[in-house]
């Protein structure tokens, strides 16, 4: 893509292993962009975001340290969000392909048993309702026009989608073609195995739904409630202690020492907010591990947990202050 060309020079300065990793990841995500182009673009955009963040926050706070810190956080956040977006896109493609793979294999088997060759059966079976899978198969089989064998073209499909079920099916089909086995029977068994695996995953997901609900309640409801109430109580007790007028001689003779807390309320609010953000991110990743066996499947839950937990945290402080007030 020509619009990414000048970013390539920046991307080429990055380690080759990192560029190769993003080359493959972008293919899995269905993006027709080279890894060095993408990395160069994200790096430049992140640096510009960091500079803009520093300038804006400095105009507001007039504090160089705070401005630098927020600018770095913004720049890193932009880079991380771009990476997370690619992972989510890749995961959605994989999930969709694995959901339609058994039906497509069954259709291929039916076409082969009607007398079609494997290549013809694959082309005819690549219907529009199979979406991404059909598109990738058609793209791969076009390579046979340029002289590549059907096996080479079929193997190309497995490099475009990050699905173990698809890779195993393609491997089984290519080995069957080489050995001259009964392809229709092999594909029928493979289709049934993929379908059984999907049913097993659904049963496992149903059995662990209580764990997911527990994590949601703990992070999205219990944690912000406890943080909010704790800060309110700390503020109230601190104001109570400050308002008590006890003579100095009584304090000196008493074994109970009353003194205000050295920890400020703004610090507690910042500390709680950071903990809720970290907890929401970790909770989302844990849910992804429990539900789908992969942490990246949990990125979609992170924004929801962040919105719920932070909203409840700030709302509970407003509600308590407005309804109960504080001791001055």
Residue-wise pLDDT for 83-135, tens only, equals 888 988 888 888 888 888 888 888 888 888 888 887 888 888 888 888 888 88
Residue-wise pLDDT for 314-324, tens only, equals 888 888 877 76
* Mean pLDDT of the region 11-29: 86
User: In sequence order, which residues have a C-beta less than 8 Å from that of residue 176 and are 6 or more positions away?
Assistant: 182, 183, 186
- pLDDT higher for 21 or 201? 21
**Is the pLDDT confidence value at 223 over 60?**
yes
119-128, 140-149, 179-188, 238-247: the lowest-pLDDT one: 238-247
pLDDT of residue 1: 46
**Is the pLDDT confidence value at 285 over 60?**
yes
What is the residue whose two structure tokens read 């601190």?
Answer: 238
User: In sequence order, which residues have a C-beta less than 8 Å from that of residue 66 and are 6 or more positions away?
Assistant: 57
User: In sequence order, which residues have a C-beta less than 8 Å from that of residue 279 and are 6 or more positions away?
Assistant: 219, 223, 305, 309
Mean pLDDT of the chain: 81
pLDDT of residue 244: 62
Q: Would you say how long the chain is, in residues?
A: 328
For the whole model, what pTM was predicted? Answer: 0.71
**Is the pLDDT confidence value at 241 over 70?**
no
Exposure string of 180-190, with b = 16+ CB inside 10 Å and e = fewer, is: eeebbebbbeb
**Is the pLDDT confidence value at 269 over 60?**
yes
Alpha carbons 234 and 224: distance in angstroms, whole number: 15
**Is the pLDDT confidence value at 143 over 60?**
yes
**Is the pLDDT confidence value at 158 over 80?**
yes
pLDDT of residue 169: 83
């Amino acid at each position: 893509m020509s619009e990414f060309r000048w970013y390539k020079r920046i991307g080429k300065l990055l380690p080759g292993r990192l560029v190769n990793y993003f080359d493959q990841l972008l293919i899995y995500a269905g993006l027709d962009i080279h890894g060095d182009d993408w990395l160069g673009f994200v790096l430049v955009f992140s640096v510009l975001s960091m500079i803009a963040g520093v300038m804006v926050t400095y105009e507001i706070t007039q504090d160089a340290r705070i401005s630098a810190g927020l600018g770095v956080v913004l720049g890193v956040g932009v880079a991380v969000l771009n990476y997370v977006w690619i992972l989510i896109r890749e995961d959605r493609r994989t999930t969709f392909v694995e959901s339609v793979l058994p039906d497509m294999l069954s259709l291929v088997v039916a076409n082969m048993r009607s007398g079609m060759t494997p290549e013809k059966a694959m082309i005819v079976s690549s219907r529009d309702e199979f979406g991404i899978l059909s598109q990738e198969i058609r793209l791969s089989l076009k390579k046979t026009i340029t002289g590549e064998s059907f096996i080479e073209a079929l193997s190309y499909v497995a490099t475009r989608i990050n699905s173990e079920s698809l890779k195993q099916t393609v491997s089984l089909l290519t080995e069957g073609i080489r050995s001259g086995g009964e392809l229709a029977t092999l594909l029928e068994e493979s289709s049934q195995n993929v379908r059984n695996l999907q049913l097993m995953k659904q049963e496992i997901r149903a059995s662990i739904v209580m764990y997911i609900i527990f994590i949601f309640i703990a992070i999205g409801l219990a944690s912000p409630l406890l943080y909010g109430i704790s800060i309110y109580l700390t503020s109230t007790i601190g104001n109570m202690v400050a308002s008590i007028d006890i003579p100095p001689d009584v304090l000196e003779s008493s074994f109970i020492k009353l003194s205000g807390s050295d920890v400020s309320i703004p610090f507690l609010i910042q500390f709680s907010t950071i903990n809720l953000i970290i907890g929401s991110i970790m909770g989302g990743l844990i849910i992804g591990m429990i539900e789908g066996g992969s942490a990246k499947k949990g990125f979609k839950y992170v924004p929801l947990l962040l919105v719920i937990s932070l909203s409840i945290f700030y709302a509970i402080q407003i509600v308590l202050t407005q309804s109960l007030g504080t001791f001055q």
